[in-house]
Amino acid sequence: EAQVTQNPRYLITVTGKKLTVTCSQNMNHEYMSWYRQDPGLGLRQIYYSMNVEVTDKGDVPEGYKVSRKEKRNFPLILESPSPNQTSLYFCASSRRTDSYGYTFGSGTRLTVV
Amino acid sequence: DAKTTQPNSMESNEEEPVHLPCNHSTISGTDYIHWYRQLPSQGPEYVIHGLTSNVNNRMASLAIAEDRKSSTLILHRATLRDAAVYYCILRDRDNYGQNFVFGPGTRLSVLP
């Protein structure tokens, strides 16, 4: 089944403890992206990647890192999480051309205490 | 960036058609019109997209105005499962990565 898989689905962590949220897609998509969703603010793009080793900042990149060493994987790294990064995170992927829509993962609910 | 405007909320009765409007008066020639929906506790789900011509798929139809400054997502027979937030988004064919902006969307309620 074609899908975007995020792990973990739920995570509670403490301030300052480094964490990684994984994202993997099995559709050979070139483009991948991370979003966060907060009440009243909607979905906001954190980082995106056009292809392997090509990444760029979205609208809210502060406090996050990403890497794209393989086409299928696009992990989101929080080096020193803070409570304002408590949010619902979504990974998405798509083919390179605009003939295709995004496929989203099921989300990761992160709580930083 | 081209932006879209949608009503905050709409209500429909089950098994009736629903027309969800979207205004995008600053759309450029290379912008595709995408629609997504987000069911409670799930990630956004692709619904349909188009450029100039009306489009149909198994989920919905997309009607695009001749001047492309507005579009309408049509659910032909609303079911309770269609209750969701619907997002109308413009995606630049030549800049597909950047600024794929989700606005507040339209929250659709379906009444039994």
In this predicted structure, the answer to whether residue B87 has a pLDDT above a threshold of 80 is: yes
- Cβ contacts (< 8 Å) between A56 and chain B: which residues? 97-98
Across chain A, mean pLDDT equals 93
**Residue ranges of chain B whose CB lies within 8 Å of a chain A CB:** 32, 34, 36, 42-46, 49, 87, 91-93, 96-105
Q: What is the pLDDT of residue B91?
A: 82
pLDDT band at A80 (very low <50, low <70, confident <90, very high): very high
Min distance A40 CA to chain B CA atoms (Å): 8
Contacts of B52 (CB under 8 A, 6+ apart): B64, B68
- Strand segments (E) across B31-83: 31-38, 45-50, 55-56, 61-64, 70-75
What mean pLDDT do residues A16-41 have?
A: 94
Cα–Cα distance for residue pair A98/B95, rounded to 1 Å: 9
pLDDT in tens, B20-46: 999 999 998 888 899 999 998 899 999
Cα–Cα distance for residue pair B76/A89, rounded to 1 Å: 32
Burial of A97 (0-12, 13-18, 19+ CB in 10 A): exposed
Whether the link from the prior residue into A81 is cis, omega within 30° of 0, is no
